[in-house]
């Protein structure tokens, strides 16, 4: 009797936990530099004498290339594997992040920003589909919660370092900002160690889905296009609201009198609280209709945006808005990713998340480009009001498509399982 060949996919709880913790370590280290740059780089540009209108153009260049990279990464990862793309993304991040802190000419910075966005796409777009290939379906909501918690903790640590280290080095000077960002690049490169331990041999589609190796039929392609379009439209609408605010929020809080250290502490604490609360996402997904819960959590900061948009622009309101938004995103992201990722065709996962990432970054680019000029001329109140419109529209689109799509997929899966069990029963 020939022994069965062992599969390379983790099957025991211990194996799954080991793979998950290794992947969480990769996410923590790889996102560290992004946390530092999200806090410091706009403040660094202000130190160079550049205003919000340039910051908006810079953000647009970076996120447009991120969107273009997201469209490229899907087909490329099917050829090379997601892990190879992630490794390349980390290397490119280190190269172009280093150039960003050495170059000061505005036009050169825009060119580097474009390349930096491509690197970010390589680091982020394959990550969700990749973890789906490592973790069995019943553990994916928990896995997504742990991954998001690690990203939040990483962002928290990066924001804390970005806010504190310049002061420890002697003040908020251009050189101290550069030193802090250089330290973060070195730490981000450390993510290659856990990534190297996630061997490519562990990547494979859902074992129960034998059709995963077959090409999509015309009907399956049409269904996948509908899923991709719906996912991308929702992500794009949210990105329009996010891009009008988030690229400038550290500058906004500093303009209200907060120090870079205080802003860093706010970003760090918000990410830390979000990380802890994201671990409760599996419980919410079991107790409440998951996608309806996502819509509520995604709009949890809208009342505060309305308060600021109506003219109440004190630092406490701004800080509360940022913290509430982070908590809502932290809880909603694992629920959405696992619920939708479990019902779509596994062959379409990379394309689905790639399309959403492309739409997200295109929306961010357009919105930040226009918002920078609006802020310079009219202040921050109009962009807070636009955030409300964009998120409200996004959640209406979300609820009009995805709950029904999930119900249909779950019903079809239950019927298929029942038919399979019936066929196995003796006559």
Per-domain residue ranges for the chain? Answer: 19-195+219-412
Rounded mean pLDDT, 403-415: 81
Range 301-324 average pLDDT = 91
pLDDT attached to residue 3: 42
Of residues 203 and 304, more confidently modeled: 304
**pLDDT tier at 209, thresholds 50, 70, 90:** very low
Give the pLDDT confidence score for residue 108 in this predicted structure. 93
266, two tokens: 């706010």
Of the chain, the percentage scoring pLDDT greater than 90 comes to 24
Look at 127-136, 228-237, 264-273, 372-381 and tell me which has the smallest mean pLDDT.
Answer: 127-136
| Nearest residue to 131 (alpha-carbon basis) of 122, 140, 123, 142 | 140
Specify the pLDDT at position 1: 40
Of 183 and 16, which is predicted with more confidence?
183
The more confidently predicted of residues 362 and 388 is 388
Query: In this predicted model, which residue has the larger pLDDT, 94 or 7?
Result: 94
Q: Is the pLDDT of residue 101 over 80?
A: yes
pLDDT (average), residues 223-230: 88
CB atoms closer than 10 angstroms to residue 126? 28
Average pLDDT rounded to a whole number, residues 316-336: 88
Q: Is residue 387's pLDDT more than 90?
A: yes
C-alpha to C-alpha distances, 79 to 73, 75, 125, 360, nearest whole angstrom: 10, 7, 15, 24
More confident residue, 257 or 132: 257
pLDDT at 218: 78
Q: Is it the case that residue 60 has pLDDT exceeding 90?
A: no
Euclidean distance between CA atoms 195 and 188, whole angstroms: 12
Over 80: is that where the pLDDT of 323 sits?
yes
What does the pLDDT read at residue 91? 93
Give Cα separations from 48 to 102, 161, 175, 202, 236 (angstroms). Answer: 12, 21, 11, 46, 31
pLDDT over 80 at 306, yes or no: yes
Higher pLDDT, 3 or 197: 197
What per-residue confidence (pLDDT) applies to 427?
Answer: 54
CA 101/CA 109 separation, integer angstroms: 9
Q: What is the pLDDT of residue 426?
A: 61
Backbone angles phi, psi at 282, to 5 degrees: -60, -35
pLDDT higher than threshold 60 for residue 6: no
pLDDT at 203: 46
pLDDT over 70 (residue 2): no
- The residue-averaged pLDDT of 60-84 equals 80
- Of these ranges, 254-263, 270-279, 398-407, the one predicted with the greatest mean pLDDT is 398-407
The average pLDDT across 106-118 equals 91
Asked if residue 304 has pLDDT above 90, the reply is: yes
Cα angle vertex 124, ends 123, 129, to 5°? 120
CATH superfamily entry for domain 19-195+219-412: MFS general substrate transporter like domains (1.20.1250.20)
- In this predicted model, which residue has the larger pLDDT, 74 or 337? 337
Tell me the C-alpha distance between 306 and 85, whole Å: 41
Greater model confidence, 73 or 178: 178
Mean pLDDT lowest among 116-125, 156-165, 260-269, 272-281: 272-281
């Amino acid at each position: 009797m020939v022994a069965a060949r062992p599969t390379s996919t983790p099957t025991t709880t211990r194996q799954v936990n080991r793979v998950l913790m290794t992947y969480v370590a990769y996410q923590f280290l790889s996102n560290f530099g992004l946390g530092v740059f999200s806090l410091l780089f706009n403040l660094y540009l202000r130190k160079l004498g550049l205003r919000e209108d340039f910051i908006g153009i810079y953000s647009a260049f970076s996120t447009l290339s991120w969107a273009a990279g997201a469209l490229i990464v899907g087909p490329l990862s099917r050829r090379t594997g997601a892990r190879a793309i992630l490794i390349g993304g980390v290397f490119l991040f280190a190269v172009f992040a280093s150039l960003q802190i050495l170059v000061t000419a505005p036009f050169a910075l825009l060119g580097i920003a474009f390349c930096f966005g491509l690197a970010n796409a390589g680091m982020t777009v394959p990550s969700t589909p990749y973890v789906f290939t490592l973790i069995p379906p019943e553990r994916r909501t928990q896995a997504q919660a742990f991954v998001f918690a690690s990203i939040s903790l990483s962002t928290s640590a990066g924001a804390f370092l970005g806010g504190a280290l310049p002061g420890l080095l002697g003040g908020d000077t251009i050189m101290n900002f550069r030193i802090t960002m250089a330290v973060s690049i070195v730490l981000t490169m450390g993510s290659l160690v856990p990534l190297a331990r996630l061997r490519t041999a562990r990547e494979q589609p859902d074992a129960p889905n034998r059709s995963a190796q077959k090409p999509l039929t015309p009907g399956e392609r049409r269904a996948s296009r509908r899923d991709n379009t719906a996912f991308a439209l929702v992500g794009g609408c949210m990105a329009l609201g996010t891009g009008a605010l988030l690229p400038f929020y550290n500058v906004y809080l500093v303009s209200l009198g907060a120090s870079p250290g205080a802003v860093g502490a706010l970003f760090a604490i918000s990410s830390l609280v979000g990380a802890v609360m994201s671990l409760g996402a599996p419980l919410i997904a079991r107790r409440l209709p998951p996608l309806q819960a996502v819509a509520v959590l995604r709009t949890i900061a809208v009342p505060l945006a309305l308060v600021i948009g109506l003219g109440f622009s004190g630092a406490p309101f701004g800080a509360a808005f940022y913290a509430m938004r982070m908590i809502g995103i932290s809880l909603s992201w694992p629920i959405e990713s696992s619920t939708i990722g479990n019902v779509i065709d596994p062959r379409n996962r990379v394309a689905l998340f790639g399309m959403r990432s492309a739409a997200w970054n295109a929306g961010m680019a357009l919105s930040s480009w226009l918002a920078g000029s609006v802020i310079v001329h009219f202040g921050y109140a109009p962009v807070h009001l636009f955030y409300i419109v964009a998120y409200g529209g996004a959640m209406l689109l979300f609820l009009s498509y995805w709950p029904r799509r999930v119900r249909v997929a779950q019903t079809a899966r239950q019927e298929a399982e029942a038919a399979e069990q019936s066929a196995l029963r003796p006559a």
